[in-house]
Structure 1
Amino acid sequence: MIQVLSHCYGDYVEQHLTMELPRGATARMLFPDEGIPFQRQPRGPITMNHLRHLLFNLNLATPAHAAIWAAALTAFWGCRRLGELLLRSRSSFSPTRNVTRQAGFSHSIVNAHHVISFHLPWTKTTGIRGGECILTATNDSFCPVTAMLHHLSLNNITDPYAPLFAFRVDASWSPLTRDHFLRTTGDIYRSANLDMVLGHSYRIGGSSTYSRLVWRRSSS
């Protein structure tokens, strides 16, 4: 599967999908919603329909909603767990676990697409060794690069130790917590009668979407 992804999208995809996989990793580890028995209650994936309703109901001119939209697309297209991007609570910040404004973005052009990446100090699979979060521009309404740059511009917070997805509140700022994110997005999904999802659902949905895109490309 990884060879197919690399053939279709080049070295970027191979790097993106293999950098955190342990030796002997398989496609099942890459796409966890395909054929693996769950040890606990299954978590449905985020779909493009979820994202469409989310975009329609958020006001991206407001700092909090801009942060939520950027976090959602980062988790989805970056195939990341919310716990790797957001704080559990306002008082739970740790520089060894939570990504901050001083993460340091790198920019490149890959296959004519703007790519940004930044370092995560902690991930579930690597612990404190961390990993890179890579976002590739989709050049549409669901572009993670556009969402991230808009968030950073609107929430122009100079404190280098502020969490990456912190947003402005009057003259100060507030961290975007996992509960705040799930509460806001959950209300939107419920009002649209969509399947309820959890934090891990963004990673599952992003991985599934990548696999479908590659399958269509390789079949054409």
Structure 2
Amino acid sequence: MLATLHRVLKLDNPFEACIWAVAACAFWGCMRFGEVTVKTRTAFSERLHLKRSDAFFGYDLDNKPYARLDLPSAKTAKPGEIQHVFLAPQNSLCALQALQNLFRVVPATSRDPLFSWRDKQGVIRPMVRDVALSFINSIFRASGWGTTFGHSFRIGGASFYLSQKVDPEIVRLIGRWRSLAYETYIRAFEQVNSRHTANLAGNYGY
């Protein structure tokens, strides 16, 4: 589904470049959709929402690129606590490339919304949740997929990581879950549980 979006979207279009950045970051960062969008155009707050200055690009100990998003507010964060979203390269569906493309196509100041686009009058607009989902779902329906919801990206990202045998503790850290309880609601975990836990007694000859 992510590949379908990437194939269809016009990444030189300000609105669609923002849509792709929203989708890629929400999926690979296991982010809540409310962390990459706002409820209404006027709802954006520098104190609550991601700004351009909250995105950092760097290199890790293996000299591989990564991005860090510093969330000024999050559902599970204490007042004043900043949570971090870490994004790694992902070939053609890369969130890092999606953000860098967004910055090129939609120039903005450090205080503007991270996930924003420019209308025909050149006005910066934050990406509104319902607008983004409606546009994304129009593509999915045209491609024969069902309707997706905001939380689908967070759940989908975590489910994908688990299906690729990423350690559940790493997935917990990616999604900023405070306990392994998140496994009880990830819909695909039952499909990959055996990869992590099956036949362990065989290690002891039983």
Report the TM-score range of the alignment, normalised by the length of the smaller protein.
0.7 to 0.9
Rounded Cα–Cα distance in structure 1 between residues aligned with 2:137 and 2:156: 16
Q: CA deviation at 1:195?
A: 2.4
Rounded Cα–Cα distance in structure 2 between residues aligned with 1:200 and 1:95: 23
| 2:28 corresponds to 1:77 | yes
Q: CA deviation at 1:194?
A: 1.0
Rounded Cα–Cα distance in structure 2 between residues aligned with 1:80 and 1:110: 24
Question: Are 1:70 and 1:151, in contact at CA under 8 Å, matched by a contact in 2?
Answer: yes
Matched residue, 2:153: 202
- Greater mean deviation of Cα atoms: 104-113 or 187-196: 104-113
Q: CA deviation at 1:179?
A: 1.2
What are the within-5 Å matches in structure 2 for residues 98-177 of structure 1?
Answer: 98-111=49-62, 113-126=64-77, 128=79, 129-138=81-90, 140-158=91-109, 160-170=110-120, 171-177=122-128
| 2:131 corresponds to 1:184 | no
User: Match for 1:73: what amino acid?
Assistant: A
Question: Are 1:54 and 1:188, in contact at CA under 8 Å, matched by a contact in 2?
Answer: yes
TM-score when scaled to structure 2? 0.75
Q: CA deviation at 1:95?
A: 2.2
Rounded Cα–Cα distance in structure 1 between residues aligned with 2:57 and 2:14: 24
Rounded Cα–Cα distance in structure 2 between residues aligned with 1:182 and 1:85: 12
Q: Which has the larger radius of gyration?
A: 2
Q: What SS is found at the alignment partner of 2:93?
A: coil
Q: CA deviation at 1:122?
A: 1.4
Question: Are 2:55 and 2:67, in contact at CA under 8 Å, matched by a contact in 1?
Answer: no
Matched residue, 1:63: 14
User: Match for 2:134: what amino acid?
Assistant: R
In structure 1, list runs of 5 or more residues that go unmatched.
1-49
Question: Are 1:84 and 1:124, in contact at CA under 8 Å, matched by a contact in 2?
Answer: no
RMSD (CA atoms) = 2.0
Aligned length: 167
Q: Give the fraction of aligned pairs with identical amino acids, expressed as a percent.
A: 31
Rounded Cα–Cα distance in structure 2 between residues aligned with 1:87 and 1:183: 14
Q: CA deviation at 1:114?
A: 1.3
Matched residue, 2:176: none
Question: Are 1:157 and 1:168, in contact at CA under 8 Å, matched by a contact in 2?
Answer: no
User: Match for 2:43: what amino acid?
Assistant: S
Indicate which of 16, 19, 40 corresponds to 1:89: 40
Cα 1:89–1:207, aligned 2, differ >3 Å: closer, same or farther? Answer: same
Q: CA deviation at 1:103?
A: 1.2
